A and B are shown apart, each in its own frame.
Chain A
Amino acid sequence: MTANQVFKKDCKLMGNRFELSVVATDEKRANETIEAGIDEIKRIEKLLTTFSDDSETNRVNSNAGIQPVIVSRETFELIKRSVSISKLTQGAFDITYGSIDKSLWNFDQDMKSLPDAGTAKKMVRLINYRNIILNEENCTVFLRERGMRIGFGGIGKGYAAERAKLIMKEQGAVSGVVNASGDLTAWGLQPNGEKWTIGIVNPDASGQVFSYLAISDLAVATSGNYEKYIVIDGKKYSHTINPRTGLPVTGIKSVTIITTNAEIADAMATPVTIMGVHAGLDLVNQMKNIEAIIITDDDQLYTSKNINLRDA
């Protein structure tokens, strides 16, 4: 009997590089399983995309302020779950985030100053998950105000990863990893019998790992300002906008969420960043089965209470 090995394949989907790995003895079986996972991600990409005119998301958006739109049960349930996360995070997570008025201020590399508070608030006036009207019986979605838009950028990757994992498990994969550029979910054990681990990178240094975490049967998602940010008056601003103030988020270098499923991990990374260390960790600490690691711009590390810091 041949030994267990890791087989992997990657592809570019939903604007991200997805890498699927399975542990198997047989290469052919492994590849078939991975293909099934990739197909599932492709299916979800098609479902949630805003790039084709007749996609569900586009139809909902173009009927904002006009009329409810019938969507598939799958999309409906995803929107419903998104709204529940909005309620949980006091609106810091919001799929209507795309309703931001870019004519007033747009985040771009050459920005020299922030918009004033009044303009900023005007910019985000249409971001409001409460204006998503769902009809369970008819399976319809209605965006109440004109100009409102929904998008699944903050949760779609995690949803797809979780679905791909489910499909691959149904195909018989007892161990594997679905990794969407750092947002990942892992199950089972490595061929050497140890848990899957991830290294957490110091956002300052060029990819240097400063700590690692065992993540078998867990999902991890990270959001950070280290790739996309602007500097105004010596302060770093992330490209994420706070939906309450309309101003870009500052002070946090990266947030890593560790929980039991990738959809929640993906969805929670941005709101914890927006809420800030105090309110963000307060939320995570009260919740069961979810932990967070936050690194601030001045290199302070904060963790939620069930994370034990150990020297290797």
Chain B
Amino acid sequence: MKKIYLTVVGFSMLCRISTHAQTRRDTISTKPLNSSTQSSKQDSTQYNPRKLKLDEVNFVTSYYSQTGNHSAVTGGIGTESVTDIANGLDLNFVWTNNHQNKNTLAVGLGFDYHTAASQAYVSKTGASSPTGTRLYPSLDWTVENAKSGNTFGIGTYYSTEYNYNSLGADLHFSVKTDHKNGEFSAKLQGYFDNVTLIYPSEFVPASTTVVNNGRNGDGGHRDNFGTSPRKTYSAAFGYSQIINSRLQVAVLADVVGQNGFLSLPFHRVYFSNGKDTIERLPSSRFKLPVGFRANYFVGDNIIIRSYYRYYADNWGIRANTANLEVAYKVSPFFSISPFYRYYQQSAARFFAPYEGNSPTQTFFTSNYEYAKFTSQFFGVGFRVAPPTGVFGWQGLHELEIRYGHYSQNTDLVSNVISLNLGFK
């Protein structure tokens, strides 16, 4: 089979706007004395630290006795015992208002550009466009209770590309355990998608005229017949726990249900008897992924992130994913993260390769997304977050560029470059 090259260039921007509503504590953040930001300020006062002599160290206790005269007139308090504050004073922070919340509004914009040679063959003559672009803006509003650390939020997401658009909404919340070491989170999402029914050119139903009531197809291929809906509902649950200052773990489980038009109308299937048709898949699907994550801090500069996930769905696919990433902090503002991911899945019940499906099957597909395969994805990411902003621009506080190479044992190879920008 010909090698298929898929190149994806992704670009996403995430802008977080945080507002602090009456957060007394948050507006005053504590910093240890040795903080590096001080050194630039000390020069301007023209007073420098100096080592005190012993009598200066004891200045307070010996204040009045310096004058050698303890009479009232000299202001002396005589030999009265003085409170000793060497044991420390407690500065107790209070919450004057129970409604102290931190509101964060995250605005994201993603852009993908992909090329896939096979896409050109949606039209039998290869006249379809081999490239596609996807635009996906998102909005998320989360409220965090500054005292308990619990959050609640809603989000919305929209994605559009030539044959598919998706509108999503989600509700998410998280609850922290008493000492804030553990956190339980839940996210309920719904996606309401529309698949543009772009049929391969030879399967356009003959009796109908071309009706452009849905999204227009890509360049040159005008065989579209409106859209068909697809709904996805998912509930994602997670529990994360800080074991100690170096180790954090998390357990994740999702429940996903889909219904609607779950296949793609331009995927062809060739039966064992040589007859060809379009793939047909059930109109409902149920998925259950379960995962485990562990992040370990080695020394001061290295974080090891590991992830394992088991996936099962009711189409017969069973899959395992193992991912390992090592983030190395070269400096407080620059880090390098090489990563590796191994993935293996079994075939769906109704998958068979070219001329492998029997015409008597109810459901059939030759889409290799549902085949048995293993894949590897590895690459490296670079992240910069200088204090003066990226390229000196304070509004752009971080930039990450990731390159990855993906290969499947079914001869699919792809390269992904993605750029992440974080704005304040």
CA distance A160 to B93 in the complex (A): 31
Contact yes or no, A286 B91, CB < 8 A: no
B360 at the interface (CB under 8 A from A): no
Residues of A within 8 A of B87 (CB): 306
Residues of B within 8 A of A311 (CB): 92-93
Contact yes or no, A277 B41, CB < 8 A: yes
Contact yes or no, A264 B63, CB < 8 A: yes
Q: Which of B78-109 contact A (CB under 8 A)?
A: 82-96
A105 at the interface (CB under 8 A from B): no
CA distance A208 to B37 in the complex (A): 27
Q: How far is the CB of B58 from chain A (nearest CB, A)?
A: 6
Secondary structure of the B contact surface, majority rule = loop
Contact yes or no, A301 B31, CB < 8 A: yes
Contact yes or no, B45 A286, CB < 8 A: no
CA distance A288 to B86 in the complex (A): 7
Segment at the interface with B among A75-83, A96-104, A141-149, A175-183: A75-83
A112 at the interface (CB under 8 A from B): no
CA distance A260 to B45 in the complex (A): 27
By beta carbon, the residue of chain A nearest B78 is A166
CA distance A24 to B405 in the complex (A): 81
Q: Which of A84-124 contact B (CB under 8 A)?
A: 84, 88, 90, 92
Contact yes or no, A309 B74, CB < 8 A: no
Q: A202-B24, A208-B24, A278-B41 given as contacts; is B91 within 8 A of A213 (CB)?
A: yes
B124 at the interface (CB under 8 A from A): no
Contact yes or no, B27 A202, CB < 8 A: yes
Residues of B within 8 A of A274 (CB): 45, 47
Q: Which of B22-79 contact A (CB under 8 A)?
A: 24-25, 27-31, 33, 35, 37-39, 41-42, 44-52, 56-61, 63, 66-67, 69, 72-75, 77
Q: A163-B75, A202-B24 given as contacts; is B93 within 8 A of A258 (CB)?
A: no
Residues of A within 8 A of B51 (CB): 286
Contact yes or no, B74 A73, CB < 8 A: yes
Contact yes or no, B47 A81, CB < 8 A: no
Q: A209-B94, A260-B83, A287-B57 given as contacts; is B69 within 8 A of A77 (CB)?
A: yes
* Per-position 1/0 for A242-263, Cβ under 8 A of B: 1011000111000000111101
Q: How far is the CB of B203 from chain A (nearest CB, A)?
A: 66
Residues of A within 8 A of B88 (CB): 306-308
Contact yes or no, B59 A282, CB < 8 A: no
Residues of B within 8 A of A307 (CB): 88-91
By beta carbon, the residue of chain B nearest A167 is B72
Q: How far is the CB of A43 from chain B (nearest CB, A)?
A: 11
Residues of A within 8 A of B63 (CB): 81, 261, 263-264
By beta carbon, the residue of chain A nearest B72 is A166
Q: A162-B75, A202-B28, A244-B46 given as contacts; is B93 within 8 A of A309 (CB)?
A: yes
Segment at the interface with B among A1-9, A222-230, A289-297: A289-297
* Per-position 1/0 for A271-284, Cβ under 8 A of B: 00011111111110
A305 at the interface (CB under 8 A from B): yes
Q: How far is the CB of B51 from chain A (nearest CB, A)?
A: 7
A196 at the interface (CB under 8 A from B): no
Q: Which of B63, B84, B86, B95 has the most CB of A within 10 A?
A: B63
Residues of B within 8 A of A249 (CB): 45
CA distance A74 to B69 in the complex (A): 11
By beta carbon, the residue of chain B nearest A90 is B47
Contact yes or no, A293 B46, CB < 8 A: no
Pick the contact of B74: A77, A208, A259 (CB < 8 A).
Answer: A77
7 further contact pairs, Cβ within 8 A, besides A260-B82, A275-B47, A288-B58: A73-B74, A74-B75, A163-B75, A279-B45, A279-B49, A301-B30, A308-B88
**A-B residue pairs in contact (CB < 8 Å), sample of 17:** A81-B75, A84-B66, A88-B56, A199-B94, A210-B96, A211-B92, A244-B47, A258-B89, A263-B63, A276-B42, A279-B47, A286-B52, A289-B61, A290-B59, A309-B93, A312-B92, A312-B95
